[in-house]
Structure 1
């Protein structure tokens, strides 16, 4: 009974993750807007002309107020078009192998654990109070995130790679290559970079997403009767769950993306000392609303993802009903 919940949740999560991957990639690119892509100081020093006994003249470009004014940030459609033009159609599925592994580890674990706790805690009544649904979601999300963090780091890096100059790209061949190179070049602990953020985000997403879906579905069925337990109810309840999850998790998601994507070199201090430092620097440099960068694609992705997730889950449950 318990294992079946993991299998059902895993299948539904993989289908939902792959079908909405391009939207997730656009969200990641938008969340990284505003970060400096300047090379590190060592690279800048290497580009300076060497003193070889003669005078070198460097002409500096004329700087005006207009040239230093911040450029308007492109929206999700513009970001998507830019990716297509500069990187090709296949770039929209950069990191999809990491998405599959992430769903297999993270989502399978959280969906299965939530299902187990919901059935165990509901007792003979068969109905779980909202606070217990939230508690189950928090626990399931935390465990799932800890298991899936290496795939999450690999996915963020693979999705973000195309925005870097060609010389700075990591060019991971697959999620296996990404995880292997991170472990060799940066140490095994790099696979759990940003894990505290991943756990916090997963707890928020899982608790808000799964609890909202169950609560909304139960409310609709109480109002319209058990006969309404069909596609329409599943879509409405899942869309509400996706909206709530996106609103609750976006700030943590922005910080998580930036911490996971940061590049560190031996002997150099990392751009961020941790999650709190990243959040403070982001707000200081770009304003409070920077924590909601990528919110439109987050909702655009979270909504369809959650709808596909729960609609697929309901169908898989019916398929495995007698198993």
Structure 2
């Protein structure tokens, strides 16, 4: 994601600090959280329901602020999950970048994005689990709600009532999904941005950043949606509801192939602006506060 410019025979490049990705993703989550809430509820809903019906249900039961249920868990998730995945990606990419500053091959960026995403998925699983549960609470009858006050309270309740290992329910699937998401978002963003900058139509500016991030968001949504549906159902399940991942898969498959893409539209509507905002924030942080390297 670095940018270079010639200055008297040498090149200057600004690269992101390892924690910029987490901060950027958390900032984006503050804007896109209502879409994420609707996506989760559509994925856990059995039967068909429109987005407008869901919005009406949430607002009727909890008011407009109900669309921000679970925001503390969403921020906890991004500050763990995205900090780790972006951090690993940036540190590894800078390590493998040749001394002349030429971009690393796409297969290498894909590999390190996958590794970073897998690690980020593991570290962010507790926050993700609480996030899913808090977002899903608003559609449940009052007597069935978990009523977590915030992310920390949710973590404490899970540990004391279900055991600490429950915080990593669905972790393997979440890690796989996070690896695909990071490949789709981060590796493809870098590659698409390079392709755009190689033409005469794009320069290092917000237009390029938006174009590349929108394309990366579409790719990431498509390759992760089936895994995301299964992950959400595992995390929202009551203890003993499913015997294992094959049981979750079979239960979902009974609803038809399209069940694996439930919530695709709200997922894209949420992920596209989230990806765009994340990379706009990240690029601004990089250009203004990034580490300067001379090549």
Scaled by the length of structure 2, what TM-score is found?
Answer: 0.91
Alignment equivalent of 1:16, drawn from 16, 24, 28? 28
Alignment equivalent of 1:137, drawn from 91, 95, 113? 113
Distance (whole Å) between structure 1 residues aligned to residue 51 and residue 115 of structure 2: 33
Secondary structure of the 1:228 match is coil
Q: Does structure 1 conserve the Cα–Cα contact (< 8 Å) formed by 2:43 and 2:263?
A: yes
Alignment equivalent of 1:239, drawn from 209, 214, 220? 214
Alignment equivalent of 2:275, drawn from 294, 299, 306? 306
Distance (whole Å) between structure 1 residues aligned to residue 234 and residue 179 of structure 2: 18
Alignment equivalent of 1:281, drawn from 237, 251, 264? 251
Distance (whole Å) between structure 2 residues aligned to residue 246 and residue 129 of structure 1: 23
Structure 2: runs of 5+ lacking an equivalent: 1-14
Q: Does structure 1 conserve the Cα–Cα contact (< 8 Å) formed by 2:180 and 2:220?
A: yes
Q: Which has the higher contact order (CA 8 A, sep 6+)?
A: 2
Scaled by the length of structure 1, what TM-score is found?
Answer: 0.83
More strand by share: 2
The match for 1:27 is 39
The match for 2:132 is 156
Q: Does structure 2 conserve the Cα–Cα contact (< 8 Å) formed by 1:76 and 1:296?
A: no
Q: Deviations over 1:252-309 (max 9, x none)?
A: 0000000000112xxxxx121222220111111x111100000000110110000000
Q: Deviations over 1:188-234 (max 9, x none)?
A: 11000010111010000001111110011000000127x71101000
Q: Does structure 2 conserve the Cα–Cα contact (< 8 Å) formed by 1:5 and 1:111?
A: no
Runs of 4+ in 1 over 4 A off after TM superposition: none
Q: CA shift at 1:80, angstroms? A: 1.6
Q: Deviations over 1:14-33 (max 9, x none)?
A: 10112100000000000011
The match for 2:80 is 105
Alignment equivalent of 1:175, drawn from 109, 130, 151? 151
Distance (whole Å) between structure 1 residues aligned to residue 39 and residue 290 of structure 2: 36
Structure 1: runs of 5+ lacking an equivalent: 35-70, 265-269
Q: Does structure 2 conserve the Cα–Cα contact (< 8 Å) formed by 1:283 and 1:291?
A: yes
Secondary structure of the 2:97 match is helix
Secondary structure of the 1:271 match is coil
Q: CA shift at 1:148, angstroms? A: 1.1
Q: Does structure 2 conserve the Cα–Cα contact (< 8 Å) formed by 1:28 and 1:159?
A: yes
Secondary structure of the 1:224 match is coil
